[in-house]
Amino acid sequence: MTAVIETEQLSKRYGRKTALSECTLRVPAGQIVGLVGPNGAGKSTLLSLTCGLIAPSEGRIEVLGAPPAGSAAQLARVGFVAQDAPVYAGLSVAEHLTLGARLNPSWDRALARRRIERLGLDPAQKAGRLSGGQRAQLALTVAAAKRGDLLILDEPVASLDPIARRAFMHDLLSFVDELGVSVVLSSHLLSDLSQVCDHLVVLAGGRVQVAGDVTELLSVHHRLRVDGGGLDGRLPATARVVHTERTVAGSTAIVRSTEPIPGAERADLEDVGLAYMMAMEAQR
């Protein structure tokens, strides 16, 4: 499968602060990729590198087979919505679409108008007066109507309530189906991403902790209760305990194993992502 993003030993430092370290990734085309990690994990740094807004300190990155933002043609192929869904507060919804049409040679007028209508946005409304959810939808519409090959969304639902988050994610799914575009979206919350993504990348402490196809990740991660005897003798030799969490009700381990584990349940995506993030925190 072709890659939309390929990185090798990619690192970014801001002064003495290392925000991203030795990141080697291959993000497949035609999928919705979830990038998850706690505050300060390096998500925005990775997405900004992908858009060519910042340059790597070390390593290599290719987006759609070329250096990010290396040419006007390359820029036109990538739609980016930065954190907090930036829009021009003084411009109306319709003026955003006019601006988008002037700036982008492959602008899809019909798609933009159709989406605005479907979302029930008033074209005359100033963007500064829209709700957070409506602003996020407007920013997504502008990025998508560029008709690029890759959409990058940095925490698109961070400011939305749970109902608006769900609606945004569902809308994104149907929209991706319609356009056949690849999407990378970041969030702190696995619950947002687990509804939509085919591929997951977990970042913590500036490093990729785990990355892969969601179905494959789920098939090799197991959740099991740890009783008084611990896990000794219960795991296949090739299994690896990712993280063990103690709660008042007892301890639960998330284990990576290609072989079945008697008495274990399938872990869900939230279990998997959290286990890798917490394992990283525990090492600090």
Ligand X SMILES: Nc1ncnc2c1ncn2[C@@H]1O[C@H](COP(=O)(O)OP(=O)(O)OP(=O)(O)O)[C@@H](O)[C@H]1O
50 counts as binding ligand X under rule CB under 6 A: no
Question: What is the C-alpha separation between 115 and 126, in angstroms, rounded?
Answer: 17
Residue that has been written with the tokens 């994610």 in this structure: 169
Kindly calculate the radius of gyration of the chain based on its CA atoms and give it in whole angstroms. Answer: 21
Nearest Cα neighbor of 175 from 32, 76, 72, 23 is 32
- Distance of alpha carbon 42 from alpha carbon 153, whole angstroms: 14
> How far apart (Å, rounded) are the C-alpha atoms in residues 163 and 181?
25
User: Contacting ligand X (CB under 6 A), which of 4, 5, 36, 41?
Assistant: 41
Q: Measured from the CB atom, is 55 or 103 closer to ligand X?
A: 55
Cα angle, residue 173 at apex, residues 170 and 212 outer, rounded to 5°: 115
* Chosen residue from 17, 102, 246, 284 binding ligand X by CB under 6 A: 17
User: What are the structure tokens assigned to 188, written together?
Assistant: 């702190």
Q: One symbol per residue from 176 to 215: x for binding ligand X (CB under 6 A), - otherwise; what is it?
A: ------------x---------------------------
CB of 46 to ligand X, least distance (A): 7
Q: Which of 11, 44, 92, 194 binds ligand X (CB under 6 A)?
A: 44
- 261 in helix, strand or coil? coil
What whole-number distance in Å separates Cα of residue 137 and Cα of residue 135? 5
Sole binder of ligand X in the list 45, 137, 194, 244 (CB under 6 A): 45
Residue 185 Cβ vs ligand X, minimum distance, rounded to whole Å: 12
Q: How would you list the strands of the sheet with 32-36, edge to edge? A: 78-81, 150-153, 182-187, 32-36, 199-204, 207-213
Site string for ligand X, 20-39 (x = CB under 6 A): -----------------x-x
Q: Which of 7, 31, 43, 127 is the binder for ligand X (CB under 6 A)? A: 43
Judged by CB under 6 A, the residue of 40, 52, 59, 132 near ligand X is 40
**In whole angstroms, how close is the CB of 142 to ligand X at the nearest point?**
22
CB of 14 to ligand X, least distance (A): 3
Contact set for ligand X, span 118-177 (CB under 6 A): none
15 Cβ contact list (under 8 Å, min separation 6): none
Strand pairing category for 32-36 and 199-204: parallel
Stretch binding ligand X (CB under 6 A), from 13-21, 105-113, 193-201, 248-256:
13-21
Q: Which is nearer to ligand X, 201 or 242 (CB)?
A: 201
Q: Does 258 bind ligand X (CB under 6 A)?
A: no
Q: Is 246 helix (H, G, I), strand (E, B) or coil?
A: strand
Structure tokens belonging to residue 145 = 């109507």
For position 68 contacting ligand X by CB under 6 A, the verdict is no
- Which residues contact ligand X by CB under 6 A? 14, 17, 19, 37, 39-45, 188
